[in-house]
Amino acid sequence: MEERILRIITLGIISWTTAFHLFRKFLPKRSFEFCNRLVSTVHATLAFTLASLSVEDWTCPVCPLASRPSPSQMQALAVSLSYLIYDLICCQFDKRVTIDNTIHHLVSIVGIGAGLAYGKCGSELIAALCITEISSPFLHLRELLKELGYRDTDLNLAADILFAVVFSFARMVFGPYLAWVTLTADNRLVIKAMAVGLQLVSAYWFFKIARMMNYKLTKRVKSKNLVNTEKL
């Protein structure tokens, strides 16, 4: 891995950690998770922007396959790798540590790290970054709204629906295609394994999200029916 990339990763870890502590300092009444989600939202926005700007050909975003990452792609990947390392460590200090989220972080860290170390799979990794991060701001928004007092409101439900739609479309439509082209291209075995792992985690989360939305929408319909009945 290039020394320049290692410096970006190191500086990134320090920067994300500093940002988290600043949020904690200026928002003392907010929870640990709230401040971490603010950092995550900043990263998701930055990562998607950098990844989008580094796509070489929007007529074929995953082309050329199994190629060496361009300098801008390496920078985008290094920034996200630094965040994933920060977030993996940070989440261990939170009250809610989930196995699926930890696995997702480890798979992503190994996948991006392997791509940077081997100098391969640039286009595929950038596409994966776009796919995984496009729904992240909506994920964090729905949780931030809950802590701000908007739990079980129409606004929170709208955020839930928006997140579910964007996540499902990105991860379950484009995700399988990206996993397939990564598997069939001339990539290292570890990169192919991480592509499969990421898609499996995405599928697991998709079913969890589908169950959540079914529950919330059913609950909302029953609540409205009850209100209408009481009015009668």
pLDDT, tens digit (0-9, with 9 covering 90-100), for 169-223: 999 999 999 999 999 998 889 999 999 999 999 999 999 999 999 988 888 777 7
Of 85, 92, 74, 76, residue with least CA distance to 13: 85
Residue type (1 letter), 97: V
User: What residues contact 70, with CB distance under 8 A and at least 6 apart?
Assistant: 54, 56, 122
pTM, 2 dp: 0.90
Question: What is the structure's pLDDT at 225?
Answer: 63
Of 2, 49, 43, 55, residue with least CA distance to 178: 55
Cis peptide before 61 (omega within 30 of 0): no
Question: What is the structure's pLDDT at 78?
Answer: 96
Three-class DSSP category at 38: helix
Question: What is the structure's pLDDT at 216?
Answer: 86
* pLDDT higher than 90, residue 98: no
Q: What angle do CA 135, 4, 123 make, to 5 degrees?
A: 40
Contact 70, 37 (CB under 8 A): no
Burial environment of residue 26 by CB neighbours within 10 A (0 to 12, 13 to 18, 19 or more): exposed
Taking the C-alpha atoms of residue 196 and residue 78, their distance in angstroms, rounded to an integer, is 21
State mean pLDDT over 92-117: 87
Question: What is the structure's pLDDT at 200?
Answer: 93
For residue 11, count other CB atoms closer than 10 A to its CB: 13
Average pLDDT, the chain: 91
Instruction: Provide long-range contacts, Cβ within 8 A and 24+ apart, for 73-76.
Output: 73/122, 73/123, 73/125, 73/126, 74/2, 74/5, 74/116, 74/122, 75/5, 75/8, 75/50, 76/47, 76/50, 76/51, 76/126, 76/129
